[in-house]
Structure formats: C-alpha cells, structure tokens
Structure 1
Amino acid sequence: MEAREILNILDFIHGSRSALQDTVRRLEPDADWAIIVHLMRARILNHSVSITELIRKSGLPYGTASRRIQRMIEDGLIEKHVIGPGERRYELFPSSLLWEHCGQFVQRIKVLFAQTLGMRTDAQRDEEYFFGERRENMAGLLPPRTLFDGLSSRRAQPGLRFLFHQDNYFSSLRNLWVDIRSSAGRNADFELAELSELYEAVLANAAREVSDFDVVALNLPWVPEFVSKELVLPAARYRPTSDARRFHPAIWDCSSWAGQQAGVPLYITVEALAVRADLFEQNRLRAPRTPAEVLASASALQKAGGISGVSWNGARGSPIASAFMFFLNDHGGAVASAADRDECGFDIVEEQCRWSALLESDSARSTLEFMQQLLEVSAPDVLSFNGDRTMDEFMSGRCAMAYVWSMRAARFEFDLRSTVKGKVRYLARPNRHGARQTVPVGGFLLAVPSNLPRERMVLAAQAIDWMASSGARTSLAQNGLPLVPESGVGSDSEFDAASPVVSFVKELAQNRLLDTSMRPWLPVYHAIEDVLGEDIHDALSGLTSPSLALSRANRRIQALLDRMI
C-alpha cells in the first residue's frame, strides 16, 4: 500500500473520531490513538517528533503521558533515535512492529469501507483498488458510467488492460481508474514499465497474434517507428472524440508521422535545470545561462556546501543518450540533419530525404568535453544515474542542481520524502549563447495496438477518451502534475499555485520555447539512442577516447540513416 494511501485512511479515521469527540461531550481522549496517528503521520511526511511534542499531542497530563510513551517504547512500538551528543536529545519514530500493525489496521478499514460503498465486487482484495483522498465533485473525475456499463456487459471477456510508463502521472491515472468509489478496474489491469522495458514490451505485444493490451503508451520519439511498421492503429480507425484544436500544437504534431495520427496525446514534459534557489541566494550566485556558468556555479556550491554541484542522467543506454543529445543542442549541434531541408517536409522525411550524421563536428567535441568537466562536479557514481536516481539525489538535498524532466519534478513539492519543497527554481536549459533558452519536449500518447480484436476497439477508444479528458487531467493537474497537452487545462491560477513547475512549463509554452527538434524525429530513433548510449558512456567511463567514441558513433548512426533510403 502506498504511503499516501495510508495517510488518506488515517486522516479519514482521525476525522471520524474527532467528530465523535466534538459531538459527545466529556469523553476521555484516546491517548494511544493520538500518539500512534501522530507518529505515523510524521513518519510518512518525513517530520521529526520530540518527546515534548508527543506528550502535547497525547492530551494527557505531562507525567501520565510520559509514562504512557515509555510503556510503548518498552513494548517495542516506539523507537528512540539519539540526535545529539550523549543521550539527552532524541527523536521518536514508530517501530517496524507498529508500522506493521497499522498497515494491517488500515487494510481492514479499507476493505470495510469498500464493502459499505458496495461499488466493487472485489472489495476483499484491497490491493486491487485505491483509497483516494477527499474530493468535491468526485463523480466528475471518475471514469464515466457508460464505460462501466460497457465493461459489465462483456463480463465473459477480460477487463481492459493497459501497458503504461512507470512514472507519477501514469501511477496517478491508474489510482483514479481503480479508485475505491469506482468499479472500472483493478491494479492488476495495469502494467507499468520503465522506459527501456516499455519499448520492448510494446514491441513484444505487437508480435503476438492477438494483443494482450487494449491501450498502450508510446514515448513521443517512438511514433515514427511504430507508425511506419504499422504496429498501432491510425487514430482515425477507432474515431476518438478528441479534437486537435484542444491540444498544444507542439505535442499534437509529435503524435503523427507521414500524415497519420498514432494516438491521443496524454501529457508533455520538458527537461529543465532545477536549482536550489536558497543555496544560490546564500552564496550570492546568479542563475546560470551558459554551460560554462553551470560548471562555475556547480563548483562554487560543491565547495561551499559539501554536496555535489549537479546531477544528471548518466547511466548507460537511454539516460546518457538523451543527456548527450540535449547537451549537444545546448552547444549548437545536432545528431543528424537532412541534406536539403527545403525539399523535405516534416511528414515525408523518411522517404524523400538523405540524412547525414553530424558527430564529427566541433559542437559534438565541445559537448563531450563539457560532459567530462561535468563529471568533476557531479556525484562519483553519476554514470549510473537514471531519472529516478537523479530525482532522489536532488530531492534528498545531496546536490545543488539537477537536469530533470518536469513531470518527475512535481515530486519536489508533493513527494512526502522531499526535503526541497519550496526551495526550487526552474530554468530553461543554459546554452552557449546564453539567449533564447529552450527546453526539449518529451511525453506520451495513448494508442491502440494494431493486433487488438475489432470488438474491443470501442471500449479501448472510450478508455482513451476518458484518460485524455479534461476531467481526468484536471484532477491530476490539481496534484501538481505539470502541463498537459490540452490548451485549456492548466490555464487557471489554481493550477499555477499547485506547483512552481506548472507555471514554469506553461510560460515556456506561451513563449514558444518548447523544442521538439533536439532528438532526431526518425523511425530509427531508438537504434540511434542505443548507439549513443554505448559510445558516449564508453568515452566518459574512460574505456575509449572522446575522438574515437564520436567517430565510431558517427559511422554507426550514418549506417542507420542510410538504411532508411
């Protein structure tokens, strides 16, 4: 069970108990409950608890409360952690035994609540649904009743199944789908995979005679490959009701290839530079605008604070490949370019253009030199960092800056473990000119596999329409998840206030600083990513020289580009 779900249930129980205390006069306070719930909440929210604070929360006289807490320590329910010299200062934490008991308790409450609501046939299996937080107008955010009716009328068939990316947006979307107040599906209907695993899983599913999934998520750079290989149905075939005019142009254009719409955009995310505004202010540093200033700021903060200067995705494979492509753009370069741009339209590049690899260039050499210098102000093991590790490094306060995707960055304000809430500023990517700083665009769309049986397409289309609807996305935007592709969602001040990254991305979009060209928009994109993920990592790991790595990568990518003609 997720920590936030435990917190939702504890808050619900505490609210009902408080109502009883307020209604029935002269009831004795339940000190044990008050102590337990305060310790559990503090642990989930990463807050420290002193003995004085816990005594006050118990509602008992000082001496009585002290004895009660000491008894709970002796019973193994509370642990003391010394935080100062000697043993005079310490903090209190719920023990693993108390955590286990509370977990069993909230699971039973969750099941009882689901049974009382009577909206789920699987109420006894608490792992299959989510206890959501309190919401006004919740009915407008849940999957529509017409979809429930469609599912119940096909009970002989399995329920809808989804293959999605493992991130906070898709996790929140799943939780809304399996909310305790709906009966649309179960957790088991969702398979969430990391990016590289998702690519292989979608390809493997496409190779089956009949698809195992009704709806799959496609990373935007994969669109040309999956459309050219006819692995997803053209959106026009299942007629989604989504209107192109509702969507941000940048992501709508990225959802098609050769004039064919691959699916319905779900969200966009941008990679920006997150900086600790408090540390920059304390050290009187200005925000970096060029790669050289990034290095200088990282070095200064590393020396001043005893933390690493900057984190970035340096792990072998997709993480370092994307990092290199984005840093290359910062230095004015590109992985490849069409021989004659004027003769090549956006949608006919594959058939009519000859492309050239551009990695034996000054900009590519400058980029690799910058990344080598970046190693000196990064954590020693940064070449093993993926997106999650980079996030954790920054969120825990172990680094001063981080190149992060905006969808993940929402965790800085909403993750219960974050130590940087309210301390983060977001910057467009510093570039060699220090002017018109842009950000690369990523994101996902929802698509229907081409091997899905025809009789399941209607329900798949209805599910996509709901997941990409204003209601579902408004719910997620209220939880601080950044800019969604629909122009109207996120335009209100309430969303700006939810998280600084929301207004940051919105402002970039309004100023047309979303860049969709930092990665080659080609059917061989994933193969190019594989090449860079190997050769660039080898160069930075010292396994080969930078010049040999760039030469080898250039040769291998040119072979891939020639194969398209």
Structure 2
Amino acid sequence: MNRNEITTLLKFVNKTRILFNKTVSNQIIDADWRIFSYVISNHFENKLCTTTSIIQVSGLPFATGLRKVNRLIKVKKLIKRPKTKSGKSFSIHPSGELIKEFTEYLLLIKNEFASQLGFNEIDNNFYFGTSLSAGNIIPAPTVITNQSKKFKKIRFLSNDNPTFKVIQNNLNFFEYIFDCKIELTIESDLKKLLNKIITNSLSNSKSKFDIVAFNIPWIGQLVNLNCLTPLDKHVESIGLNLNDFHYSGIRSSSFNKKLFGIPIEAIQDLLFYRQDIFQKHNIKPPVNFEELFSACKALKNISEIESPISWPARKGQPLATSFILAMANFGKPYINLRYIGDNIYDLDSEKISLKANFLSEAAFNAAKMLKELVSYSPNNISSHSNDECVEYYSQGKSAMVLNWSSRAHLFELNKGSPAFNKTSYLPRPAGHPSFQVSPIGGFSLGIPFNTSDEKIPFIMRNIRKFVSPEIIKYYIEHGSLSSPVFSVVNDPEVRALSPIFNEIDKMEKDEKFVEWARYPLPTYSNIIEEVGNRIFNYLFLNENLNSTLESCQATAQKYLK
C-alpha cells in the first residue's frame, strides 16, 4: 500500500471508532489508539507532533498523558527527534516498528474488505476507497432522471483535449443523457482559454459559463484571482466519492487545502517506447538518462525509424515544460519547495520565502541533457509541440517519445499505426536515483466564482455525471485514453483497450506521480512562457548556458516578488 491508501484506510477506521463512541455508552478512553493513529497520520502527511499535541489528542489528563508518552518512548513505539542543537526542543515521531505494525494492521483490514467485495486476498488491483464497480464491467451510461425543472442548459468552457473532443463529437448523446442543452465552447489555445476563464470570472456580471475546464497548473493563479468556487461542501452534498479518484489528481485540484476542481482528465507525462524495436535490437528500456542515451545511440542508425526520440521542444510553454520536468527528474522543482524525503516535496509554499531554482545543479544538468537529446531528435524538433511529436511517433518515425498519456490514442486506437499494440510505458527517466517520476497533468472541472448560488447544486449534479465511471468509460471508448478514477481502469473491457491503463495504475500505486514538478504558482504561466523562450535560445541559437540560466532566474524572480 502507498501512503495515500494508508491515509484513506486510517481515516476510515478513525470514523468507525468515532461512530462507536457516539452510539455506545463507553467511559473508557482509547488513548493508545488515539495516540498511534495521530502520530501515524501526521507521519504520512509530513506533519510534526509534539508532546503537548499528543497529550491533547489522547484525551488523558496532562500528567497521565505525559507518563503515557514517556512510556511509549521507552518501549520504542515513539521516538524523539531534536529540533535544535541543544536538544531541548524536539518532535515526536512513530518508530519504524510502530509504522510496520500499524501498516500490517491496516493491510489486514484492506484484505478483509477486498475479500467481501469478491477480490482475491492477494489481488493488487484492489485499491481501498474505489467504487464498488471496481473490477466489474461498468455498464453503459444511464440518463439523468431528476434533472432541474428550472435550469435547462449547461454552459461549458474547455480546451480541445481528447476528452472534450469526445463530448463535442457526440453532443447529441450527451444532451440525451443529461436531459438538458449543453452549450460547449472549445478554445484550443491554452493562453486564450486561461484569459477567457479569468475575464469571465472577474466581470461584474454573472458568469457566462457554468463549468470551466482548467489546466491543473493554473489553479494557483485562478484561486489567487478569486476565479473559482470552493467545492468541498458541495462535493459532500452530492455524495461524490473522492476516494475513487487518483489521489494525485485530487491534490492537484486543490489549493491552500481547499478543493476547487473535480478531475475529468488525469494524465501523466511518460516515456512511450516501441517494445518490438527494443526487443529486436536487445535494448534495455531506460529508467534513467544514462540508459536513455545508451538506447538513443543504439537506435541512431537502425533502418526502421528516422530518429530515436521525439519530445516537445517548441519555443515557449512546450519547451519550458520539458525543461522543468527534466529538472524534476534531476531532483529539483523549479522553485525552492521544502524537501521532505524520497521523491517528496512539501506543497505548502507559505512556509518559505520563494526563490527560483534555475541556478541549481539540477537546472544545469537538465539543460545539458536536453541539448544532447536534440542530436537524437527529428531535424525539425524545434517546431514540435505535444501533438507533433506524438504524431511523429505514431507514424513509426521514432522509437521513443516523451509526452502526456492522453495522446496515446493516436496509436493505441489506430490499427494503421506501426506503434499499435507495440508500445510500452515508463515514468520519465531519472537524473537522480530517487526521481524516476512523472508529473500529474490534465484538466479539472471548476465553477466560476461569480456563478449564482441558486444554480450551483444543478451544476454540481452535472459535474458528478461528467466524471462518473460510466461516462469516463464512454470517453475512453471514443478516443480519450485517460481516467481519473480507479474503478474505470479496473474494468476488464477498459484494460483490454490498451496496456497504458495497467501501467499507469501500477505507477500511481508505486507513487511515481508528483504534483510539485509543475507547482501551481499564481504566476506559473508567466514564468513558463518566458523560460521557454530563453531555453530555446540556448538549445537552438547557441546562447551561453550560464547566461541563459541567469536570465531564467532573473525572470522568475521578477514574478515571485
């Protein structure tokens, strides 16, 4: 189990104990459970515990609680870690033994649930919190029967990603299912889409749109400008099961601990590679950049392809994204978030004075890596955005591509593609051993802040339908290889469509997806656009690397003030 599933299980068990105490008269204070669950939960959420906070949560009188804490430290269930050089100030943490015992206990509970739902005890496909349809064939979409009598239209603003193209191309079907008119506005230019969302929300009049699909890294800017409605209380009112969603998607749709969007398209930036070509030439699938370049050298002169690899290198946002994702693989986000351990950075930027990381060793190594990668790429790589480089791969012209998982439909659902049924997937290669990771991306559905309160329940019921398992499956069957929920990727019919679902599901559970690589600063889009222009000059116009990175740093700092 990964930390997200452990946290979900722990919250569930805590709720059952609270319900017991509420309904059954019981004078005994369950201090051990309260203490253990508190320190374990804080450990997995990267929060510190103190002696005082533990005593408070235990429910015991202070002196009794202090003796209890000291005894648990003595028997090595808890450990002290000094916070200062003197050692007078310290934090309390669960010991390795307690973490192991507690995890085994939660695993037993999970296995019992899995067994009752028809899963084999050792079936790794069961993820606690998923929809009850997980592992079963999800039926075709059913019509909404309790649609509002007052509101008869949903006004929807989105971009032209595969999911939204499915809605656009099958609008009559969706209007039949939703029992209302759907007014879909498609804006393919991401900069224009962002501006439309902002302009609409900041107008003095009521919103022109009921639902806006926003790119995940924009959430900081949109929340900062007061463009989105917080959704936490509305999610509860419609009974939406957030535990069925990939945890990384929910975290990426939240800002300052509030939920502002519901994921409709959760995608990851992955390495796609032709397994048939790799097997034929006895090439090892690359898990780090050293192995990536070894593969490129082996593929350089083979006859089956034109270039070993393709990737987004077009000036501006596409190239900047490639650059900051490479920085992440070398172990650093583009700003100085607090490092916690393994491949985890603290997403709470309020605790630090923000500075850009473009003068770091990771930035230097990322730029040098991209420079070398150009020599193994198509001659016109500088004009490749996401669509062009995946199209190049789907035509059989490259053996690898770095890109977002949603675009795999270009070859996975195209029997005429040389890559059809011959592609395997990996997280992005590591530059640092702990950072074979991929960012979470995609779009979430939000409600503009200037929406009428009266209409929000109607909108939320429709959002719930747009992200329901049966509708997500419909998107997939019609060309969008993306699912933000576990229950859909466990459907045997969905898994049969493409190996990408099994691979992504495994990567999610192995915690290979991170949100910090494209941390959603309020000025993210400004920084990215300018950094992409400057890195382009280094890669293709031979500008000096040091001066390029200094320029990137100065530009970013300008927007961080």
Same-fold call, TM > 0.5? yes
Report the CA distance shift for 1:154/1:516 in structure 2 as closer, same or farther (over 3 A): closer
* Separation (CA, whole Å) in 1 of partners of 2:198 and 2:418: 39
* Separation (CA, whole Å) in 2 of partners of 1:275 and 1:498: 18
* Separation (CA, whole Å) in 1 of partners of 2:401 and 2:507: 19
Residue 191 of structure 1, aligned match among 186, 190, 195: 186
Report the equivalent of 2:298. Answer: 300
Report the equivalent of 2:529. Answer: 530
Task: Give the conservation status (yes or no) of the 8 Å contact 2:333–2:357.
Answer: yes
Counterpart amino acid of 2:275?
Answer: A
Report the equivalent of 1:355. Answer: 354
* Separation (CA, whole Å) in 1 of partners of 2:174 and 2:466: 17
Residue 253 of structure 2, aligned match among 255, 259, 268: 255
Report the equivalent of 1:178. Answer: 172
Report the equivalent of 2:382. Answer: 383
Task: Give the conservation status (yes or no) of the 8 Å contact 2:273–2:424.
Answer: yes
Residue 288 of structure 2, aligned match among 278, 287, 290: 290
* Separation (CA, whole Å) in 1 of partners of 2:309 and 2:359: 27
- 1:45-60 pair list within 5 angstroms: none
Offset of residue 240 of structure 1: 4.4
Counterpart amino acid of 1:220?
Answer: I
Query: Could you give the per-residue CA deviations for residues 110-134 of structure 1, whole angstroms, max 9, x where no partner exists?
Result: xxxxxxxxxxxxxxxxxxxxxxxxx
Report the CA distance shift for 1:237/1:192 in structure 2 as closer, same or farther (over 3 A): farther
Offset of residue 340 of structure 1: 8.5
For residue 359 of structure 2, give the secondary structure of its aligned residue in structure 1.
coil
Report the equivalent of 1:505. Answer: 504
Query: Could you give the per-residue CA deviations for residues 495-541 of structure 1, whole angstroms, max 9, x where no partner exists?
Result: 22220111110110121211222122422222221222221112112
Percent identity between the aligned chains?
23
Offset of residue 395 of structure 1: 0.6
- 1:59-74 pair list within 5 angstroms: none
Query: Could you give the per-residue CA deviations for residues 215-270 of structure 1, whole angstroms, max 9, x where no partner exists?
Result: 00111111122122210111146454323323222111121111221021223111
* Separation (CA, whole Å) in 1 of partners of 2:332 and 2:308: 25
Task: Give the conservation status (yes or no) of the 8 Å contact 1:338–1:354.
Answer: no
Residue 165 of structure 1, aligned match among 159, 162, 168: 159
* Separation (CA, whole Å) in 2 of partners of 1:341 and 1:436: 13
Report the CA distance shift for 1:550/1:419 in structure 2 as closer, same or farther (over 3 A): same
* Separation (CA, whole Å) in 2 of partners of 1:469 and 1:196: 29
Report the equivalent of 1:404. Answer: 403
Offset of residue 289 of structure 1: 2.2
Offset of residue 278 of structure 1: 1.6
Report the equivalent of 1:146. Answer: 146
Task: Give the conservation status (yes or no) of the 8 Å contact 2:328–2:517.
Answer: yes
* Separation (CA, whole Å) in 2 of partners of 1:497 and 1:484: 14
Report the CA distance shift for 1:292/1:228 in structure 2 as closer, same or farther (over 3 A): same
Task: Give the conservation status (yes or no) of the 8 Å contact 2:267–2:482.
Answer: yes
Report the CA distance shift for 1:457/1:250 in structure 2 as closer, same or farther (over 3 A): same
Counterpart amino acid of 1:235?
Answer: L
Task: Give the conservation status (yes or no) of the 8 Å contact 2:210–2:448.
Answer: yes
Query: Could you give the per-residue CA deviations for residues 148-191 of structure 1, whole angstroms, max 9, x where no partner exists?
Result: x64xx546xxx321111211122224445532882746675342
Query: Could you give the per-residue CA deviations for residues 30-79 of structure 1, whole angstroms, max 9, x where no partner exists?
Result: xxxxxxxxxxxxxxxxxxxxxxxxxxxxxxxxxxxxxxxxxxxxxxxxxx
Report the equivalent of 2:198. Answer: 203
Moved more, 243-252 or 445-454: 243-252
* Separation (CA, whole Å) in 2 of partners of 1:309 and 1:382: 12
Report the equivalent of 2:121. Answer: none
Task: Give the conservation status (yes or no) of the 8 Å contact 1:410–1:501.
Answer: no
Query: Could you give the per-residue CA deviations for residues 337-385 of structure 1, whole angstroms, max 9, x where no partner exists?
Result: 147979xx957524x4202222112221121111111111111111111
Task: Give the conservation status (yes or no) of the 8 Å contact 1:214–1:452.
Answer: yes
For residue 442 of structure 2, give the secondary structure of its aligned residue in structure 1.
strand
Between Structure 1 and Structure 2, how many residues are aligned? 418
Report the CA distance shift for 1:423/1:548 in structure 2 as closer, same or farther (over 3 A): same
Report the equivalent of 1:235. Answer: 231
Report the CA distance shift for 1:169/1:340 in structure 2 as closer, same or farther (over 3 A): closer
Offset of residue 139 of structure 1: 8.8
Counterpart amino acid of 1:170?
Answer: F
* Separation (CA, whole Å) in 2 of partners of 1:414 and 1:393: 16
Moved more, 518-527 or 248-257: 518-527
Report the equivalent of 1:213. Answer: 209
Report the equivalent of 2:483. Answer: 484
> TM-score if structure 2 supplies the norm length?
0.69
* Separation (CA, whole Å) in 2 of partners of 1:228 and 1:215: 19
* Separation (CA, whole Å) in 2 of partners of 1:356 and 1:181: 48
Counterpart amino acid of 2:298?
Answer: A
Task: Give the conservation status (yes or no) of the 8 Å contact 2:265–2:484.
Answer: yes
* Separation (CA, whole Å) in 2 of partners of 1:154 and 1:358: 49
For residue 525 of structure 2, give the secondary structure of its aligned residue in structure 1.
helix
Moved more, 183-192 or 484-493: 183-192
Q: 5+ unaligned residues in a row in structure 2: which ranges?
A: 1-136
Report the CA distance shift for 1:240/1:262 in structure 2 as closer, same or farther (over 3 A): farther
Offset of residue 195 of structure 1: 2.7
Task: Give the conservation status (yes or no) of the 8 Å contact 2:338–2:346.
Answer: no
* Separation (CA, whole Å) in 1 of partners of 2:182 and 2:274: 36
Report the equivalent of 2:459. Answer: 460
Report the equivalent of 1:21. Answer: none
Offset of residue 194 of structure 1: 3.6
Task: Give the conservation status (yes or no) of the 8 Å contact 1:166–1:195.
Answer: no
Task: Give the conservation status (yes or no) of the 8 Å contact 1:255–1:264.
Answer: yes
Task: Give the conservation status (yes or no) of the 8 Å contact 2:154–2:181.
Answer: no
Offset of residue 453 of structure 1: 2.9
* Separation (CA, whole Å) in 2 of partners of 1:340 and 1:189: 42
* Separation (CA, whole Å) in 2 of partners of 1:411 and 1:145: 36
* Separation (CA, whole Å) in 2 of partners of 1:477 and 1:376: 35
Report the equivalent of 1:53. Answer: none
Counterpart amino acid of 1:386?
Answer: S
Report the CA distance shift for 1:438/1:341 in structure 2 as closer, same or farther (over 3 A): closer
For residue 401 of structure 1, give the secondary structure of its aligned residue in structure 2.
strand
Task: Give the conservation status (yes or no) of the 8 Å contact 2:394–2:417.
Answer: yes
- Bigger Rg, which one: 1
Report the equivalent of 1:545. Answer: 544
Query: Could you give the per-residue CA deviations for residues 409-446 of structure 1, whole angstroms, max 9, x where no partner exists?
Result: 13321146533201111122111245662221112210
For residue 270 of structure 2, give the secondary structure of its aligned residue in structure 1.
strand
> TM-score if structure 1 supplies the norm length?
0.68
Larger RCO: Structure 1 or Structure 2 (Cα < 8 Å, ≥ 6 residues apart)?
Answer: 2
Report the equivalent of 1:281. Answer: 279
* Separation (CA, whole Å) in 1 of partners of 2:365 and 2:339: 25
1:516 matched to 2:515? The reply is yes
Task: Give the conservation status (yes or no) of the 8 Å contact 2:138–2:470.
Answer: no
* Separation (CA, whole Å) in 2 of partners of 1:186 and 1:278: 47
